[in-house]
Structures are given as C-alpha cells and as structure tokens.
C-alpha cells in the first residue's frame, strides 16, 4: 500500500441526482504520510465547538521517499496491550477451547487430523481453508517428524499465521487531503458504530475528521452518526431525505475547503442481494470520483463475525460491486468463532484493517495475524 502516491486534480462535474428514494433500512501500526491537496469553494456545514483532541504521538520515521514520509506510532502501553489481548482471547474462547483440547495427551495419527478438521469447520473456517490447513499440517508433520501434540499445535499456529499474514495491512493516512473513505455493510453489522470508533482513532493520530451521513432516509442512522460526531467533536454533513450521493459529494467538497484530513462517508445498510441498492452504492462511488478524481481512496466493508460463511458471501458481493480496499470485522466478543478470517484469506484476501471485540472505543484495534492466531488456538 505505501509506495506509489500520485497527485490528482479534483473534477468539478456536478453529482448525478436520483429521484428514487433509497430503501430504509494501537495495537498494530498505522502509516502516516504528510501532504496537502488543493482547495475548493467552501460550503456551509454546522461545526461543533472546538474541544481538545489528543495530540499526535511522537512518531519514529521508518521510511522516507522524495514525495512522502511514512512513520509508525509508538508501541501501545503494556497494560493496554494486555487488556486488549485478554478481551480478544475471551471473545474467541469457545473456539480456542474446542481446538486446544484436541492436542491434549493425543497420539499424532489420522484421528487427530479428523478431529481437527471437524473443529476448524465448526469454527467457520470453511471447507477450502480447512482442507488447505489440514493438508499443509500433514506435510509438516511428516517432513519434520512431529510426534507430540504440542508440536503439532505449534505447527498449526505457524500455518495459520502464514495464511492470515496477507490480511495484516496498514491503513495509510495523509496520501490525499482529504483522504476519502467510503464505508459499506449490511444492517446490524456495526457500521455506524465502527465509523465513530475509527474517527476517534484517527483523531488520536492527529487527523482531523469529517463525517457524511449517507443513509439519508433512515432517521435512526443519522441520529446515531450525529451522536458519535458530538462525542468526537466532528462535523457531520447530513440532509434528511436528500440524495445520498449528493450529500457525500457536498461532504467531500466541504472537507477539501476546510483542509480536513479524513472524510468518512456512511452509507445505508443493505443486503448484497438487493440489486437496486447495490447499484445505488456504485452510483455513490461514481459521484465521489466527480468531486475528487482519485477518490474514494478507501472502500471499507464492515462485517459481523457472527455471520460466519454469510460474511464471506458479503465480502465477495461487495468486492465485486465496489472493489473493496479493506475490512473491519466486528463483534468477535459474541458467539463469533473467528475462523471466518481464514476463509476470507483463502478466497478473497482483502486487508483486515481493524477487528472489534466490544462497544468501547478501545475495543476496535488493528488486526495482527499472530495475535489473532494465538487467541484462536488459546495460546498466550
């Protein structure tokens, strides 16, 4: 992701309009790139009174080019890190108990592989990922001549980390001003809540944020986003009953005029089977590109880990429609089994920027393949 950064000139074509109403419905590291974009004529939007936002931490440079600089934040405080890992392990405890128990006092034979296969399928890993892990584990056991259950478990952890590693990518900030993020998801996935939490995270990294309420026909969605805006002292661009694409178009221009770092656009929750609503999402993406030819810079999908293989189907459908750049996986603290990330890694390896294990702001953290694999297998 960090690497090629190209300057773009925002287009001025007005947005498409539609009369058809839309249906109601710091653990890892973040990169930061410094830069500024052009200006556009400001539009009036309500701005809440300024409040203190946590200052950006003292960063350490890890890479520099002629055009930009990438820096990494300091490590999370040990107490905060341990608290997060405890919550993650607790959220995945049902799955980890089932898998870890297989390796206790076990003989390394065919029965072990059969039990492990069943446990992975029960954990929502899916047939493809399960077969891949079992076949790779058989090869490693045979090649390394592993005879102890603990050795086989350690080998499985290494294979799982290797499988999940491509999903561990950093969200690169500052490569455009504003950095436009389009957020999609089905109803109930935790989309609007995730936007509010992510806004606070970005503020902690010294980023100014503006939100666009693209779910214009559902009052509860606008109200929920407005509440998060008040909590974080972030402006929310909204319009009751307005065209979602037009609202988001205005928000992009407002963010550019105010030199806002990040503009996040909420969209109405929808099922991928609702073809007319999926087409509305495509329209929103096209209109965003009319406000800024390089935008949206990020297209994120929020998925509920409790949905198992249905979550994988959502990833495929939204990716086909929009070209996803990242995922936010929520509700790993519920009945979620966690194996769905292995299924995604095998069939649609889209970066998982954040995972969530609760309702608090600090319960949304960057995804780490090693931390997740350890929690899934019940390792410290």
Same structural domain, 139 and 112: yes
192, part of any domain? yes
118, part of any domain? yes
Is pLDDT larger for residue 256 or for residue 63? 256
Is pLDDT larger for residue 149 or for residue 272? 149
Same structural domain, 53 and 142: no
Same structural domain, 286 and 139: no
Q: Using pLDDT thresholds of 50, 70 and 90, give the confidence band for residue 358.
A: confident
4, part of any domain? no
| Mean pLDDT computed over 73-85 | 73
Asked if pLDDT for residue 311 goes beyond 50, the answer is yes
65, part of any domain? yes
| Mean pLDDT computed over 91-114 | 89
Q: How many domains, the chain?
A: 2
Last residue of a domain, one of 150, 166, 182: 166
380, part of any domain? no
Q: Using pLDDT thresholds of 50, 70 and 90, give the confidence band for residue 116.
A: very high
Last residue of a domain, one of 166, 194, 213: 166
11, part of any domain? no
| Mean pLDDT computed over 345-357 | 95
Asked if pLDDT for residue 269 goes beyond 60, the answer is yes
Q: In this predicted model, what pLDDT tens digit does every residue of 137-148 receive, in sequence order?
A: 999 999 999 999
Same structural domain, 192 and 266: yes
Asked if pLDDT for residue 55 goes beyond 60, the answer is no
**Mean pLDDT across the chain:** 80
Angle between helices 126-144 and 110-122 (to 10 degrees): 150
How far apart CA 127 and CA 121 sit, in angstroms, is: 7
Percent of the chain with pLDDT over 90: 49
Its domain, for residue 199, covers 31-76+173-367
Q: What is the pLDDT of residue 310?
A: 92
DSSP state, residue 178: S
Alpha-carbon separation of residue 129 from 132, 151, 341, 346 (angstroms): 5, 21, 9, 6
Domain of residue 291, CATH code:
3.40.50.300
Same structural domain, 196 and 238: yes
Cis amide leading into 296 (omega within 30) = yes
185, part of any domain? yes
Asked if pLDDT for residue 341 goes beyond 70, the answer is yes
Using an 8 Å Cβ cutoff, are 340 and 311 in contact? yes
Same structural domain, 198 and 51: yes
Same structural domain, 235 and 342: yes
Last residue of a domain, one of 118, 149, 166: 166
Domain of residue 126, CATH code:
1.20.120.140
| Mean pLDDT computed over 263-276 | 82
Same structural domain, 211 and 338: yes
Same structural domain, 196 and 297: yes
In what order do the strands lie in the sheet containing 209-213? 235-237, 209-213, 262-266, 179-185, 298-304, 326-330, 352-356, 364-366
Angle between helices 149-164 and 369-377 (to 10 degrees): 140
Annotated binding site: 185-192, 266-270, 330-333
Same structural domain, 216 and 343: yes
Annotated binding site for GTP: 185-192, 266-270, 330-333
Asked if pLDDT for residue 210 goes beyond 60, the answer is yes
8, part of any domain? no
Same structural domain, 260 and 138: no
Q: What is the pLDDT of residue 117?
A: 95
Q: Using pLDDT thresholds of 50, 70 and 90, give the confidence band for residue 23.
A: very low
Asked if pLDDT for residue 207 goes beyond 90, the answer is yes
Asked if pLDDT for residue 11 goes beyond 80, the answer is no
Same structural domain, 141 and 288: no
């Amino acid at each position: 992701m960090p690497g090629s950064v190209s300057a773009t000139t925002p287009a001025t074509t007005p947005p498409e309009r539609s009369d058809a109403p839309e249906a109601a419905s710091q653990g890892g590291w973040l990169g930061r790139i410094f830069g500024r974009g052009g200006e556009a004529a400001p539009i009036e939007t309500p701005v809440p009174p300024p409040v203190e936002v946590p200052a950006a931490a003292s960063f350490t440079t890890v890479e520099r080019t002629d055009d930009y600089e990438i820096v990494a934040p300091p490590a999370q405080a040990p107490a905060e890190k341990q608290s997060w890992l405890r919550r993650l392990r607790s959220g995945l405890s049902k799955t980890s108990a089932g898998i870890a128990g297989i390796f206790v006092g076990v003989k390394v034979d065919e029965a072990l592989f059969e039990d492990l296969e069943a446990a992975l399928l029960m954990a929502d890993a899916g047939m493809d990922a399960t077969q891949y892990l079992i076949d790779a584990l058989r090869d490693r056991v045979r090649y390394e001549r592993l005879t102890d259950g603990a050795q086989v478990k350690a080998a499985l952890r290494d294979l799982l980390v290797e499988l999940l590693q491509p999903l561990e990518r950093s969200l690169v900030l500052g490569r455009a001003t504003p950095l436009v993020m389009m957020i999609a998801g089905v109803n109930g996935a935790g989309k609007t809540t995730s936007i509010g939490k992510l806004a606070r995270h970005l503020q902690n990294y010294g980023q100014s944020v503006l939100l666009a309420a693209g779910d214009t026909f559902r009052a509860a969605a606008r109200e929920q986003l407005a509440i998060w805006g008040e909590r974080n002292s972030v402006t929310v661009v909204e319009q009751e009953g307005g065209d979602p694409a037009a609202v988001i178009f205005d928000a992009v221009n407002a963010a550019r005029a105010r030199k806002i770092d990040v503009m996040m656009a909420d969209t109405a929750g929808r099922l991928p089977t609702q073809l007319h609503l999926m087409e509305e999402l495509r329209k929103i993406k096209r209109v965003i590109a009319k406000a800024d030819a390089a935008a949206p810079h990020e297209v994120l999908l929020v998925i509920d880990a409790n949905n198992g293989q249905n979550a994988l189907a959502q990833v495929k459908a939204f990716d086909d429609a929009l070209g996803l750049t990242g995922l936010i996986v929520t509700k790993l603290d519920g009945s979620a089994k966690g194996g769905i990330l292995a299924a995604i890694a095998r069939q649609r390896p889209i970066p998982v920027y954040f995972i969530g294990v609760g309702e608090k702001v600090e319960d949304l953290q960057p995804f780490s393949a090693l931390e997740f694999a350890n929690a899934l297998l019940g390792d410290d």
